[in-house]
Structure 1
Amino acid sequence: MAPPPRKLVLAASSADAGVAAWDLRTGAEDIRLRPCASFPRALASVADRFLAAAQAPPPGGNSGTVHFYHWDKPQVAVKSFPAEPIQVLIADPEGSYLIGGGGKGNLFLWQVASGELLHTWHAHYRAVRCLALYDYLLVSGSEDGSIRVWDLIMLLDEQARLEANTSYLYNFSQHALPVTDIACFLVGVVVSSSEDRTCKIWSLSEGRMLRSISFPAIIDSVALDPRSHIFYAGGRDGKIYVTAMGVDVNSHGSDDSSILGALDDHRYAGYLVDVHSVYKAVTSLAASSDGLLLVSGSEDGNVRVWDTRSPVTNVLIITPKRINLPPLQPLRKVRSSNGEAEARALILPRPENDVPIAGNSSSIFLERCLDALQKHDGSSRLFEPGMSTLYGAPNKQGTEWRSRYLELQDLFVHEVLDQLPSSGGT
């Protein structure tokens, strides 16, 4: 039987620490590619054949390079020198094209096989911060707060470009601050995050916003769960918010009810200052193709792998009451494991500090009957079916008291249920 294919987790930093690659199953470091100091969103795997990483320019410099690495060699294989520093990189799934976004708002489209620059165009007024692909559609987000959708087929057709009114299909400007990340879902739905503390959900087929979800912190990264309509949002407060997309709700307002929960191990990675934790922002997220694992990176320099399969097996809604309860007692056996009656089952007296249920007189009456039973016989065998007298005859009095007890219990239960508020007929 062939071993499972190797899966690597890659991480890079703006500091020149190289690209670290770990085995996803074992956690062991596989290789470290040097040198590398890249922007956020500037690492791209080209059809898993090789790696491309746009380099941040040195302090005071205005030019950057793009490094290409093979998986079996730690050093740079090829260097490319674009016209301006590339801040974000993305490749199509087949590895035919490489697309880069520049610090001046320009986009570049290269053919991988030849290295030829097929097209360049001015896409945004400020730097391009993030890119995403859905089939032949390219989605770009910028520091100017805008999101634009581009048809790559039209961009490569010079005649089509000349005939089009605008070079983009859609221009979304609902974000008030810079866009930080973009992710595309398989059904043509886009999720964007921004420094305005919202994530917005867009329809590529309709060209409009479906929802806007507010968060308690700035969101720097998003990742989609391919199994369901939820996404993960990495915040600058160190939390990863688990959020329902809810694309079936056509809401144009702000909606924070879709936040299902949060993973917040990242927030405890810093030192303590007074009584507050130093929160480390979650800067990047990636979900496995089966959705079972989520990988996060943060400003604390740690990469964490989360198991998203942790099941929820019980859900209750309660209203806790603060009452003076007696010490809990272990339960006594009523029957043994072989089905025979157990003679040492006890009915414990009601503690002095127990709190009766207000308004239920039958509960008090029932307890008084039980007290009378114990005083009358002094044993707990009256409610045990099959118990007999010394000569084997049925205990008639015990059977009669047991019947009364069951009737009183039934009356008590019905009285409690009648006083509960209605739950819509259920």
Structure 2
Amino acid sequence: MATPPPKQLVLAASSADAGVASWDLRTGAEEIRHRPCASRPRALASVADRFLAAAQAPPSGSNSGTVHFYHWDKPQVAVKSFPAEPIRALIADQEGSYLIGGGSNGNLFLWEVASGELLHTWFAHYRAVRCLTLYDYLLVSGSEDGGIKVWDLITVLDEQSRLEAQTPYLYSFNQHALPVTDIACFLGAIVVSSSEDQTCKIWSLSEGRMLRSISFPTSIDSVALDPRSHVFYAGGRDGKIYVTAMGVDISSHGSDDSSILGALDDHSKGVTSLASSTDGLLLVSGSEDGNVRVWDTRSQQVTRKFKHSQGPVTNVLIVMPKRVNVPPLHPLRKLCSANGKVETRSVILPRPENDVPIPGNRTSIFMERYFDELQKYGGSSRLFDSGLNTQNGTHSQQGEWKGRYLELQDLFVHEVLDQMASSRNP
């Protein structure tokens, strides 16, 4: 007897206290609804598909907010946490070992999920952190101040590395004129950001510079990438989802709005959140009109319509719940420890998210080479260990591994960029 395919759910949350709704992607049937929940955009995260985390919007006039954990099979909150400041953006690493939160005062927080321990907190932006994305040991944050910063977690978490670094961040980008609303990584080497300034910008993480700026007729509040091609979707405040070709040409700069290939149009108000399936065949959109749409990206037609609430939909996710016995969850702590210092511990390196190869390029070859080099330098899955024995030269080996990794990433991004340019100019 054939094993039924694992269930995929569409999740949606609202800034109104309407809970987290879920629907079966295959049948369209509504599943359990988690209550209470009132979350702003980018504040809902699936933790390795084992449970759900949602940062709550603070009550009007309050400067405090909570983070809720929910189990898949129970509608009520499993654990409540009370961070030092309201969390505006929340993400988990691929393994579900760590949560990273962006605060309303511009701080970043890194928690260990298993213990709830706050491993590190640091000042990142002058205004609230609106969005986050994570790839390997690189964390990218976008803010209401219009800035984007790229953080090397090795440097952030290692005191010696912080002392030696010229700046606490790897790169700082300030080309957006208004608040940054969303960020997404394309194969780790390229980042797409959206902003209220009616542009999306494309960045190279290996070169630390902007590659391209694309103009839109409206402010863009959300982006999602198609893992099969060099296309991304941009959710506009006019209710349209713009299908946009990256068209990265490393020999040119400046603004270019000719890459807008078309638009998906079925929402009556702004599109606040987008999520793409891992195979790129489905796109889910959430809107201020309170509705959720599931799109077939090949036909560009709506295949399912869901009504969430009277309030705006602020977050949508596609998840494949793992109904496993999760160890008891612990509240996220406000402070690093009793004495305010980070305890000695290891941080696990998230595995690269390159499950879907892109036809025509040698992505898998570069990633295989990366893993080979990682093993040579003893990297295994460890990103940082504050208990390294410097007398035996372990820090030196770590530095060599990091340098080699950056070289490989540089080769990798040029491979991707060259092919994008050649695809535009056959």
**TM-score between the two structures when normalised by the length of structure 1:** 0.69
Equivalences for 1:1-400 in 2 at 5 Å?
Answer: 1-267=2-268, 280-310=269-299
Cα distance between partner residues in 2 of 1:59 and 1:238: 27
Q: Give the deviation of 1:162 after TM superposition.
A: 1.2
Q: Give the deviation of 1:24 after TM superposition.
A: 0.7
Q: Give the deviation of 1:311 after TM superposition.
A: 8.4
Q: Deviations over 1:365-405 (max 9, x none)?
A: xxxxxxxxxxxxxxxxxxxxxxxxxxxxxxxxxxxxxxxxx
The ranges of structure 1 where at least 4 consecutive aligned residues each deviate by more than 3 angstroms after the TM superposition are none
Counterpart of 1:217, as a letter, is: T
Cα distance between partner residues in 1 of 2:220 and 2:52: 27
Cα distance between partner residues in 1 of 2:230 and 2:267: 24
Contact 2:284–2:295 (8 Å) recurs in 1: yes
- Say what the alpha-carbon RMSD is for the aligned residues: 1.2
Contact 2:133–2:184 (8 Å) recurs in 1: yes
Secondary structure of 1:160's counterpart equals helix
Q: Give the deviation of 1:260 after TM superposition.
A: 0.3
Secondary structure of 1:17's counterpart equals coil
Contact 1:101–1:108 (8 Å) recurs in 2: yes
Counterpart of 1:58, as a letter, is: P
Counterpart of 1:209, as a letter, is: M
Q: Give the deviation of 1:71 after TM superposition.
A: 0.2
Secondary structure of 1:192's counterpart equals strand
Counterpart of 2:297, as a letter, is: T
Contact 1:213–1:254 (8 Å) recurs in 2: yes
Distance 1:136 1:25, change over 3 A: same
Aligned sequence identity (%): 86
Cα distance between partner residues in 2 of 1:288 and 1:36: 24
Counterpart of 1:284, as a letter, is: S
- Count matched residues: 300
Q: Give the deviation of 1:60 after TM superposition.
A: 1.8
Cα distance between partner residues in 2 of 1:205 and 1:49: 32
The structure with higher relative contact order (CA 8 Å, sep 6+) is: 2
Secondary structure of 1:154's counterpart equals helix
Gaps of 5+ in 1: 268-279, 313-426
Counterpart of 1:156, as a letter, is: L
Cα distance between partner residues in 2 of 1:294 and 1:251: 30
Cα distance between partner residues in 1 of 2:60 and 2:169: 34
Which residue in the other structure is 2:418 paired with?
Answer: none
Contact 1:212–1:251 (8 Å) recurs in 2: no
Q: Give the deviation of 1:190 after TM superposition.
A: 0.2
Secondary structure of 2:156's counterpart equals helix
Q: Give the deviation of 1:249 after TM superposition.
A: 4.4
Q: Give the deviation of 1:248 after TM superposition.
A: 3.2
Contact 1:12–1:19 (8 Å) recurs in 2: yes
Cα distance between partner residues in 2 of 1:29 and 1:248: 44
Cα distance between partner residues in 1 of 2:74 and 2:169: 40
Gaps of 5+ in 2: 302-426
Distance 1:311 1:223, change over 3 A: closer
Q: Deviations over 1:97-129 (max 9, x none)?
A: 100000000000001111100000000000000
Contact 1:100–1:107 (8 Å) recurs in 2: yes
Which residue in the other structure is 2:422 paired with?
Answer: none
Cα distance between partner residues in 2 of 1:249 and 1:257: 16
Cα distance between partner residues in 2 of 1:242 and 1:180: 18
**TM-score between the two structures when normalised by the length of structure 2:** 0.69
Q: Deviations over 1:5-58 (max 9, x none)?
A: 010111000110000011111111111000001111000000000000000111
Which residue in the other structure is 1:332 paired with?
Answer: none
Q: Deviations over 1:240-263 (max 9, x none)?
A: 000000123433211000000001
Counterpart of 1:292, as a letter, is: L
Q: Give the deviation of 1:156 after TM superposition.
A: 1.2
Which residue in the other structure is 1:407 paired with?
Answer: none
Which residue in the other structure is 2:336 paired with?
Answer: none
